[in-house]
C-alpha cells in the first residue's frame, strides 16, 4: 500500500511543480521576483532563474523585469562573484515530462487490469469475476 501512496504523492508533486513553473513564466515576463541575502540572491526574471553568489544587502526583490532571455544555461564570472542563469523552460520541461510519464503509466496500468465497475485490480485472478463487486465483464 505504501508504494502506491508514494507514487501518487510523486505524481501530484510533479504536477504541482509543473504548474508552478508555468506560473513563474507569466510572472517573470512582467516582474523580477526574488530574495537576496548576505551570501547572494535567487531571482526569477525574463523567463530565467538567476542565482547570484556575492555580497549584497538582505532584501526581497520586486522590480520591473529585465530582459535576460536565455535559451541555454550559462554562468557569468566576475572575480569574487558569479551569476548562474537557467532558462525556465528547462525545469518546466523536465517536470512536465516526468509528470506526464507518471500519469500516463498510472492511467495505462489502471485501465488494463482493473474492474470497470469498482476499480479492483483483477491481475492474477483465474476467473474473470471481480471478488469485490461480483461484476463479470463477459456477461455485460
* Rounded Cα distance, 51 and 41, in Å: 6
* pLDDT given at position 138: 58
How does pLDDT run across 25-50, given as a tens digit for each residue? Answer: 777 777 778 888 877 888 887 778 88
Tell me the per-residue pLDDT of 75-133, one tens digit each, with 9 for 90 and over: 888 777 888 888 888 888 888 899 888 888 877 766 667 777 777 888 888 877 888 88
Mean pLDDT value across residues 62-70? 69
Q: pLDDT at residue 140 above 50?
A: no
| 122 in a structural domain | no
The number of folded domains in the chain is 1
Q: How far is CA 58 from the centre of its chain?
A: 29
> In terms of residue numbers, what domain contains 69?
2-113
Q: Is residue 45 part of a domain?
A: yes
Amino acid at each position: 500500500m505504501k508504494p502506491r501512496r508514494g507514487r501518487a504523492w510523486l505524481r501530484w508533486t510533479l504536477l504541482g511543480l509543473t504548474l508552478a513553473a508555468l506560473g513563474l513564466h507569466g510572472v517573470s515576463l512582467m516582474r523580477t521576483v526574488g530574495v537576496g541575502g548576505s551570501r547572494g540572491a535567487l531571482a526569477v526574471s525574463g523567463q530565467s532563474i538567476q542565482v547570484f553568489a556575492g555580497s549584497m544587502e538582505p532584501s526581497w526583490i520586486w522590480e520591473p523585469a529585465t530582459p535576460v532571455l536565455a535559451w541555454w544555461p550559462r554562468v557569468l564570472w566576475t572575480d569574487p562573484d558569479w551569476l548562474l542563469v537557467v532558462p525556465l523552460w528547462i525545469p518546466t520541461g523536465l517536470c512536465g515530462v516526468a509528470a506526464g510519464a507518471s500519469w500516463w503509466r498510472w492511467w495505462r496500468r489502471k485501465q488494463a487490469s482493473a474492474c470497470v465497475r469498482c476499480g479492483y485490480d483483477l491481475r492474477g485472478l483465474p476467473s474473470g469475476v471481480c471478488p469485490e463487486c461480483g461484476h463479470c465483464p463477459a456477461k455485460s
